[in-house]
């Protein structure tokens, strides 16, 4: 199948993902990610039936999962984004083909409270590897959560505050910092679009520059944008590619957004938190760094005289 759109790094195919994957060679992909329809009866511009019987939906998922496992290289990583109801079935299937790494809970409310049920408040992100260990694993470090008003830390680190790694806190398997997609520029975007911050985190955690990233369910193309702007090669499929092509033709908003995401990871405090702390007179730990280097523009460090790490 010929791609409908390509860049120097990637290409998107308009068509059924199973057909596209059948054209892909075994063990060629470094990182595979899937965010399929959730079978919740939603309308998609591609007109798919999102209201299958439970059995039909799970068996369709098994078919594309088998293909994703086949195209992954040994050491390649697979991530599957879905609601817990379906990911328990998909995990059970994957357990016979791959090595389980994590069930990551991403704290986002996605439905209204229902009487007699708990309020659905997390998406499940399955993380598997082909073989025993991943070829790439570089999890982001994240800023310590701070008060939006004064910039003070919200967590008590048991007296070890001053010993905290200036590059941020270890990433856990519960992600509470993924915002819903609400960037002004993206107001009109497909409501199914995932956050660029989420895809940037996955791409950087489980691949290296030049690696090949694959996503069978393109949607608005967030995976491909994260891959392209992080220097990864990428390939994808989608039944209706118009939104993806339009998004690639006007990348400025995504570039600015990604720069901002990169500035606010691998640091212990974001710039905004440093400014809040300065205003409210909260002293800083003895060392900190902003985006990997000392930030001379940030007035906080001159005033508090903290030691900076080169």
Ligand X SMILES: C[S@@+](CC[C@H](N)C(=O)[O-])C[C@H]1O[C@@H](n2cnc3c(N)ncnc32)[C@H](O)[C@@H]1O
- Contact 220/46 with Cβ under 8 angstroms? no
* Span near ligand X by CB under 6 A; candidates 66-74, 110-118, 170-178, 233-241: 233-241
Distance CA 142, CA 2 (A): 40
Q: Does 237 bind ligand X (CB under 6 A)?
A: yes
Is there a contact between 79 and 127 (Cβ–Cβ < 8 Å)? yes
Under the binding rule (CB under 6 A), the answer on residue 5 touching ligand X is no
Is residue 48 close enough to count as binding ligand X by CB under 6 A?
Answer: yes
Q: Check binding of 222 to ligand X (CB under 6 A).
A: yes
Which pair of tokens denotes residue 298?
A: 């940030």
Radius of gyration for the alpha carbons in the chain, expressed in angstroms and rounded: 21
10 counts as binding ligand X under rule CB under 6 A: no
Q: In terms of CB distance, is 86 or 288 closer to ligand X? A: 86
Residues in the interface with ligand X (CB under 6 A) total: 20
Which of 31-39, 72-80, 108-116, 249-257 is the region at the interface with ligand X (rule: CB under 6 A)?
31-39
- Convert residues 192-211 into a mask of x (bound to ligand X by CB under 6 A) and - (unbound): xxx-----------------
Shortest gap between Cβ of 261 and ligand X (angstroms)?
15
Report helix, strand and coil shares of the chain as percent, to nearest 5.
30, 20, 50
| Piece of the chain touching ligand X by CB under 6 A; list 92-100, 152-160, 231-239, 291-299 | 231-239
SS3 of 139, please?
coil
Residue 206: CB minimum distance to ligand X, A:
16
| Alpha-carbon gap, residue 268 to 158, rounded angstroms | 17
Please state whether 232 falls in left (phi above 0), alpha (psi between -120 and 50) or beta.
Answer: beta
Stretch that binds ligand X, among 110-118, 149-157, 206-214, 237-245 (CB under 6 A): 237-245
Which of 7, 11, 46, 136 binds ligand X (CB under 6 A)? It is 46
CB-based contact 71:79 (threshold 8 Å): no
What CA dihedral angle connects 241, 246, 247 and 250, to 10 degrees? 160
Q: How far is the CB of 14 from ligand X (least distance, A)?
A: 9
At 213, list the tokens. Answer: 């990233």
Give backbone dihedrals phi and psi of 70, rounded to 5 degrees, phi first: -65, -45
Among residues 9, 12, 32, 35, the one that binds ligand X under rule CB under 6 A: 35
Q: Quick one: which segment of 41-49, 70-78, 103-111, 157-165 binds ligand X (CB under 6 A)? A: 41-49
Q: Any contact of residue 275 with ligand X (CB under 6 A)?
A: no
Residue 54 CA to residue 64 CA, distance in Å, equals 16
The residues that touch ligand X, with contacts defined as CB under 6 A, are 16-17, 35-37, 44, 46, 48, 192-194, 216-217, 219-220, 222, 237-240
């Amino acid at each position: 199948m010929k791609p409908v759109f390509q860049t120097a790094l990637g290409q998107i195919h308009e068509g059924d993902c199973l057909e596209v994957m059948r054209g892909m060679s075994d063990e060629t992909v470094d990182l595979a990610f899937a965010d399929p329809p959730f079978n919740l009866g939603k309308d998609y511009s591609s007109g798919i039936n999102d209201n299958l019987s439970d059995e039909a939906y799970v068996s369709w998922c098994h078919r594309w999962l088998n293909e994703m496992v086949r195209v992954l290289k040994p050491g390649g990583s697979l991530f599957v984004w879905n609601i817990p109801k379906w990911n328990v079935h998909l995990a059970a299937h994957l357990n016979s083909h791959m090595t389980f790494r994590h069930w990551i809970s991403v704290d986002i409310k996605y439905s209204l409270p229902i009487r007699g049920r708990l309020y659905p408040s997390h998406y499940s992100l399955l993380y598997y590897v082909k073989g025993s260990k991943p070829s790439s694993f570089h999890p982001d470090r994240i800023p310590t959560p701070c008060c939006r008003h004064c910039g003070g830390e919200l967590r008590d680190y048991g007296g070890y505050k001053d010993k905290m790694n200036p590059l941020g806190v270890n990433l856990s398997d519960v992600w509470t910092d993924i915002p819903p997609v609400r960037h002004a520029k993206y107001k009109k975007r497909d409501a199914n679009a995932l956050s660029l911050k989420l895809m940037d985190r996955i791409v950087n955690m489980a691949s290296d520059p030049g690696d090949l990233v694959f996503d069978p369910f393109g949607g608005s193309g967030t995976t491909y944008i994260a891959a392209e702007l992080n220097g990864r090669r990428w390939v994808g499929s989608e039944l209706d590619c118009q939104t993806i092509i339009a998004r690639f033709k006007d990348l400025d908003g995504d570039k600015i957004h990604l720069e901002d995401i990169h500035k606010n990871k691998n640091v212990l405090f974001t710039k905004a938190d440093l400014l809040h702390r300065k205003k409210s007179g909260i002293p800083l730990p003895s060392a900190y760094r902003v985006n990997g280097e000392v930030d001379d523009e940030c007035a906080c460090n001159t005033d508090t005289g903290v030691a900076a790490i080169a």
